[in-house]
Chains A and B, each alone.
Chain A
Amino acid sequence: PRSMLARRLARPLTTLARHVMTKAVVVNAGRLDFDGKLDFSRLHEACGAPVTRHDDHTPSPETIAAYAVGHATLVTKEVPVDVNALPDSVRLICEAGTGFNNINLEDARKRGITVCNVPAYSTDAVAQLVMTYVLNFSASQHLQQTKLARGDRSLFHGDEVNGTSAFEAFGTLPHFELAGKTIGLIGGTGAIGAATARLARAFGMDVLVWSRSAKDCESGTWRAARDLKHLLSESDFVSVHCPLTEHTKGLIDEHALATMKRTAFLINTARGALVNETHLIDALESKTIAGAGLDVTDPEPPLEGSPLYRLDNVVLTPHIGWKRLETRQRLMDAVAANVEAYLAGKPVNVVS
């Protein structure tokens, strides 16, 4: 990366006139920059002063408050922040992410602290992850790769014990083309839902959307479901794309799961608590639905003994939707842009 001085000289003259700087601290760079590959230079520039970095990934609220001493801007990713414990110096909290449910906005408002988020940085990454699950399920890759990982090669060499050929063994696995299959997007009218819809259609899928704000899209990109029940009963894949609120918590419960087709798959890349996990585990064990792809869970990660780790029809990933390198760099740069805008007196992406 070019030196800070060179970059400052390269920027338009107006920014040199900026008087405002901010002492910023990244409280959990160990989460955001877990591979050390991110470039923080835009954030350094935006702040006009060196940025403090802590390599923790999950600091406690007390630790965060301690880190905040002497700083005016907090950059945090997906860790609970006790706003009331923060020193008075803090004026700005930048959540390096889209969900901000871990920051009490009421408390922030009371203390005059501005809270910003980054509403759209993982759009393509998450849409790609949804399609990865969809494609894997359509070709039973989760089942096939699990067998191979355990040394079971019956799909290649047959099973001598049972006297089945490799072809017969394969015949027990679902294996279908995507064209004409339906993906139902719950709350799918946001950026990620729309990107997912576009990709699904590239594979010839039909897209059904249920959202309080959905209207039938005239271009035919998707159809609006009459209600959640309609979406669940018609979809071959159900993907969750809504924020976690008191209204959406536990939205996917035993009734919802029972309404899904037995051959259908559930995909959650949004927030774990949107799904009632106990009910989901029951549904998976009883084969009420065919499988689930979960990038988010509640809690996260799942407890060590959770059945989610051992169920064959579950694909579990450790909240990777935002972790791609380009995604995190875009995120860092967006946080820097939020800081710039705030310092210029025209804050953007304010959620408080």
Chain B
Amino acid sequence: RRLVRPLASFVRHNMTKACVVNAGRLDFDGKIDFCMLELVCGTPVTKHEHHSPTPSEIAQFAQGHTTLVTKEVPIDVTLLPDSITLICEAGTGYNNIDLTEATKRGITVCNVPAYSTDAVAQLVMTQVLNFSCSMHLQIHANANGDQTLFHGSNPFKSFGQLAHFELGGKTIGLIGGSGTIGLKTGKLARAFGMNVLVWSRSAKDCGDGKYKAASDLKELLNNSDFVSIHCPLNTATAGLLNKQTLGWMKPTAFLINTARGAVIDEDDLIAVLKNKTIAGAAMDVQHPEPPTVSSPLFELNNVIVTPHIGWKRVETRQRLVNAVAENVRAFLAGAPVNVVNS
């Protein structure tokens, strides 16, 4: 593989001793190929099989290494050894790393801004389609041997109780949907004949009619049959969907969250679902994650909950690891990319 690569890469003088602190999360099925990362680093990469090491464990793992590769675990930057010059978050969200602290210590922090675009957009459409034909309720019934829809006294009438509609002409509202994942989701939704409404600080009406910009959150929520969240988690977006704003949604509408759990006030959401203020919710992210053992999210009838699978497809993770390798290569070449601190 080294011989096959262009000659220029041989001239590289820099190497880096890298440590993947939680390969047990990134490569939970052992199917990911780390060779690009190994090649770029120029020396073997240390991999720890943990999925959620503590900040002090991470600091220990970091001893003797110059690059840290981490996925979705809190890092205490103050504990890291001086040898660390680069932290690669293997993912898009980096809210688990104190950037100010990293900058103070001269540590570059990179993320991978777009690797799960298709995967997440597909997941959103999966749940849109599931809600449109109540497939989750049917799978649930079948799982428990409930054959009412097949052999009940009137299977047709029983089926009539379930939501079942075509997507053509329905509206999906994308909150913060002008980023890559939002745009891809909008594109897929249009393939099904849906109308796309977007609310985002940077949204403008798309001239060729591909989507309409809502003037505010209320307008989006009032008019959408499906509401999907596509914004990062920050002080402006935490708890954006709460009792008041959820009340602006149609009672027949469904909420989908593949972004970050805390964008929704979860207690308010649970109350709203119990009251049937909205028709249902699909949550790939929760707050906390995973939900506690006693969380009502597991019990509510019209909730589809998944264990943050948006990034977990095998191709998605491979693309992610290769992108991390590319971030390392660019850093070593003196022209870092995807830097999130300055």
Q: From the candidates A132, A139, A170, name the one contacting B123 in the complex (CB within 8 A).
A: A139
| A199-B191, A301-B150, A320-B133 known; A175-B309 Cβ under 8 A | yes
Are B159 and A323 within 8 A (Cβ)? yes
**Which residues of B are found within 8 Å of A318, using beta-carbon distances?**
149-150, 155, 159
**Chain B residues whose CB sits within 8 angstroms of the CB of A155 once the complex forms:** 307
A301 touches B305 (CB 8 A): no
Q: Is the CB of A310 within 8 A of B129?
A: no
- B contact residues around A145 at 8 Å (CB): 136, 139-140, 143, 304
Q: Is the CB of B24 within 8 A of A167?
A: yes
Proximity string of chain B (230-250) to chain A, C-beta cutoff 8 Å, 1 when within and 0 when not: 000000000000000000000
Report yes or no: B159 in contact with A170, Cβ–Cβ below 8 A.
Answer: no
The reply to whether A148 and B138 form a contact with Cβ atoms under 8 Å apart is: no
- B66 interface residue, CB < 8 Å from A? no
With contacts A30-B156, A149-B140 taken as known, whether A309 is within 8 angstroms of B309 at the C-beta atoms is no
- Note all chain A residues with C-beta closer than 8 A to B118: 177-179, 203-204
Which of B126, B147, B154, B164 is within 8 Å of A141, CB to CB?
B126
* A154 and B244 alpha carbons, distance in the complex (Å): 34
- Are B166 and A34 closer than 8 Å at their CB atoms? no
Nearest CB of A to B24, in Å: 6
Please give the distance in Å from A295's CB to the nearest CB on chain B. 10
Residue B34 is within 8 A (CB to CB) of chain A in the complex: no
What chain A residues lie within 8 Å of B312 (beta carbons)? 170, 175
CA distance A220 to B313 in the complex (A): 27
Instruction: Give the distance in Å from the alpha carbon of A168 to the alpha carbon of B27 in the complex.
Output: 9
What's the interface size class on A, roughly? 35 or more
B60: CB under 8 A from chain A?
A: no
Interface residues as binary, B107-142 with A (CB distance below 8 Å gives 1, 0 otherwise)? 000000000001100110110011011011011101
Does B167 sit within 8 A of A, measured CB to CB? yes
Indicate if the CB atoms of A171 and B30 lie closer than 8 Å: yes
Which of A34, A179, A199, A318 gathers most chain B CB within 10 Å?
A: A318
Kindly supply a per-residue 1/0 record for chain B positions 291-326, scoring 1 wherever the CB is within 8 Å of any chain A CB and 0 otherwise. Answer: 101000010000011110100111110000000000
Across chains A and B, the number of contacting residue pairs, with CB separation under 8 Å, is 178
Given A135-B126, A202-B187: A170 touches B309 (CB 8 Å cut-off): yes
Residues of B within 8 A of A316 (CB): 138, 142, 150
The residue in chain B whose Cβ has the minimal distance to the Cβ of A144 is B306
Nearest chain A CB to B211 CB, angstrom units: 16
Interface readout for A305-335 with B: 1 if CB under 8 Å, 0 if not? 0000110000111101001111100000000
Asked if B142 and A309 sit within 8 Å, CB to CB, the answer is yes
Pick the interface stretch among A103-111, A121-129, A227-235, A343-351: A121-129
Q: Does B188 contact A (CB under 8 A)?
A: yes
B151 interface residue per 8 A CB criterion: yes
* Assembled-state Cα–Cα distance A194/B133 (Å): 21
Residue of A nearest to B132 (CB): A128
Q: Which of A131, A167, A325 contacts B129 (CB 8 A)?
A: A131
Min Cβ gap B150→A in Å is: 4
Can you list 13 residue pairs at the A/B interface with Cβ under 8 Å? A30-B156, A34-B160, A35-B161, A124-B167, A131-B125, A132-B133, A141-B304, A145-B304, A149-B143, A177-B315, A315-B139, A324-B133, A324-B164
Instruction: Identify 15 new A-B residue pairs, CB closer than 8 A, beyond the known A132-B133, A136-B126, A325-B164.
Output: A34-B159, A35-B160, A57-B156, A135-B122, A135-B125, A139-B123, A145-B136, A148-B140, A165-B51, A171-B28, A175-B314, A176-B314, A177-B122, A202-B188, A309-B142
